[in-house]
Amino acid sequence: MPHFRSLSLLLRAFKQRCLPSRRLASVLLSLSGFSCIQSVEGKKLSTLKVVGAPGNVVSVFSVPAAVKEGDVRRYVPVAQARTGEEIYLAPGNYFAANDCSGFAFTQRSEGSTLALSTLRLVPHREALTEDAFKVEGERHVVHTTCEDPIEGISHSWDDKLEIPLLPGKHRLNLAGTPLQAEFGLEASEKVIDLFPLTVFLDGDAGDNRYFVLQEDQAVRSDASIISVPVGGTIWVTPGVYALEINGTRRRAAVEKGMRTRVPLGVLRIESPEKFPADLRARLGGQPVFAYINGGVLLNLNKDYVLFPGDYAVSVEGSELQDVFLVKTGEKTVVKTQGAQIDGPACPANPEAKPCRTVPKITLHKEQRPYSLMNVTPGMPFLVLEGKYEYGVEGMRGLLRLLATSPGSVAQEKLARLRFKWDVRQASSRTRTDLVRLESRGAENFGRSLDLLFNKPDEVYVPAGVYFLTYFVGDPQQERTKTRVEFTVAQGQTREVVVPIFTDKLPAKPDEKTVRGGGDDDRSGTPAEGVDALPSSLVPLRK
């Protein structure tokens, strides 16, 4: 409550409709029949008359002498008055305010007037046909926003066409565009012409909404972003506006006397009908998402209303993407295909060293060596329609055609190769200076990087037919290329003997290693479930 100095002053202020806030003061505006007093504790009062458009309310606050100008937290509410009414005030400094404006003034003994001007917004409906207005009439928006000078909160309206404003310069926001209105000490009227802007879809747009944003990023604020249902019309001043819907943007120029209509299209990205979405979400920690233009995230199997144009679509955030055209008023459906690459089972042998962790699967296109997408083994994934190859991290260069299914998930298994490095004493200057794997067949491509001596001892590769290729000979003279062909099936673990010719044999293993207890021992009889290359396999010399 205001700090009244006596009960008598409180009663007199009550007759003058004094309350501590503008909202509560409105309760007493209907009261009448009270004759205002002419003085308060020896101070002669004078009249203040509010003039301007009828039906508007102004709150008046006293400004204590010790309060700095603009410190509204210390202003004391003393009265409210409608336009055309008079109130009595003691001489002193005051501040008048309504929802959108404030005005500081000094009340003198001879009385004064307070002008309340009008900012009038005029939607030019002649820019619409009569039929269009009948159809869209219920979805038309004239959106205005302003800041309360006392309470500091934002007020907004969707259909307010007349805004009362006190003298001075005041900032408002109209459909995302900042406005500055200035009025003098005499009541006046300022008119702003508005023209229709509509973003529409030929068809059912559901509950989609579009946003109208300021073109100037530097002055953007929360109040400048306006949301309107698709098919609805927002009234704006002529100028250029940024429109946004579902992460896509367009610029629209609104001209005086014209109606601006911006069409939409629909994009839908579908997963295979039997794709195990729940399993994929559990394994991956989240559902599979799609992206357009590398940044806008979309859910699968949902219609998205977008501005027409070309969009680069990818799934799971990968570099595998294609461009699709969204046409005005039409639906573009992007199909995806499912696949899953599993690792082979580890051979059941309690004396053998545990299998290494299956590395990531790499996806490629057009047999290029760099990876466009990495996938965890055993996890179903999606790709866009097309032909792809897959490989394994750590064995770059070996690729296999990726089998995909348009209806569910195509599954394949990697193979495991365990290398047994057969080190032999070389004669004269004969040395082994290169060992690698080379793929052959219609579904496999490429060759591995050179394998290092004793490393690796176990690798994962796509199933298929391979050559174990190595060069033996005098490094300064002729070298002999040897190829050993073998096939490794999906899910199979196979031992491959790699002959190494060197001038110095490695140290003999200790007793622990001979017994098979060493950490790195994989010599001797293959572990259970491991298939060795057949002894009858003859090297092919070329």
What is the Cα–Cα distance from 168 to 187, expressed in whole angstroms? 12
Handedness of CA 367, 372, 375, 381 (dihedral sign): negative
Q: The tokens of 214 are what? A: 């300021």
- Average pLDDT rounded to a whole number, residues 277-303: 89
Contact 398, 448 (CB under 8 A): yes
Helix or strand or coil: residue 282? helix
Helix or strand or coil: residue 438? strand
Is the pLDDT at 540 greater than 50? The verdict is no
CA angle 391, 392, 393 (to 5 degrees): 130
User: Could you tell me the pLDDT band of residue 509, with boundaries at 50, 70 and 90?
Assistant: low
Contact 144, 157 (CB under 8 A): yes
Between 112 and 38, residue with greater pLDDT? 112
User: Could you tell me the pLDDT band of residue 130, with boundaries at 50, 70 and 90?
Assistant: low
What is the Cα–Cα distance from 25 to 87, expressed in whole angstroms? 14
Helix or strand or coil: residue 7? helix
Interacting residues of 435 by C-beta distance below 8 A, sequence separation 6+: 450, 451, 468, 469, 470, 498, 500
- Average pLDDT rounded to a whole number, residues 87-97: 92
φ/ψ of 478, rounded to 5, equals -85, 140
Q: Is 61 exposed, middle or buried (0-12, 13-18, 19+ CB in 10 A)?
A: buried
Buried-state track 362-397, b at ≥16 Cβ within 10 A, e below 16:
bbbbeeeeebbbebebeebbbbbeeebbbbbeebbb
User: Could you tell me the pLDDT band of residue 34, with boundaries at 50, 70 and 90?
Assistant: very low
Q: Is 474 exposed, middle or buried (0-12, 13-18, 19+ CB in 10 A)?
A: middle
φ/ψ of 178, rounded to 5, equals -70, 140
User: Could you tell me the pLDDT band of residue 529, with boundaries at 50, 70 and 90?
Assistant: low
Strand order in the sheet with 177-183: 154-157, 144-147, 168-174, 177-183
What's the pLDDT score for residue 536? 34
Contact 77, 41 (CB under 8 A): no
What is the Cα–Cα distance from 81 to 85, expressed in whole angstroms? 6
User: Do you find a cis peptide bond into 462, omega within 30 degrees of 0?
Assistant: no
What is the Cα–Cα distance from 105 to 294, expressed in whole angstroms? 57
What is the Cα–Cα distance from 535 to 533, expressed in whole angstroms? 6
Q: The tokens of 451 are what? A: 């394998």
Give pLDDT tens digits for 516-528.
Answer: 333 344 444 454 5
How many CB atoms neighbour CB 83 within 10 A? Answer: 19
User: Could you tell me the pLDDT band of residue 165, with boundaries at 50, 70 and 90?
Assistant: very high
What's the pLDDT score for residue 9? 37
What is the Cα–Cα distance from 534 to 538, expressed in whole angstroms? 9
Instruction: Give the residue carrying structure tokens 């199909």.
Output: 335
What is the Cα–Cα distance from 431 to 452, expressed in whole angstroms? 14
- What totals of helices (H) and strands (E) does the chain contain, helices first? 5, 43
- Average pLDDT rounded to a whole number, residues 443-461: 84
Mean pLDDT rounded to a whole number for the chain:
80
What's the pLDDT score for residue 525? 47
Is the pLDDT at 271 greater than 50? The verdict is yes
What is the Cα–Cα distance from 243 to 147, expressed in whole angstroms? 24
Pick the closest to residue 467 from 503, 504, 417, 513 (CA basis).
417
Rg of the chain, C-alpha, whole Å: 41
Is the pLDDT at 282 greater than 60? The verdict is yes
Is the pLDDT at 298 greater than 50? The verdict is yes
Pick the closest to residue 400 from 435, 359, 437, 441 (CA basis).
441
- Average pLDDT rounded to a whole number, residues 26-30: 35
Contact 147, 172 (CB under 8 A): no
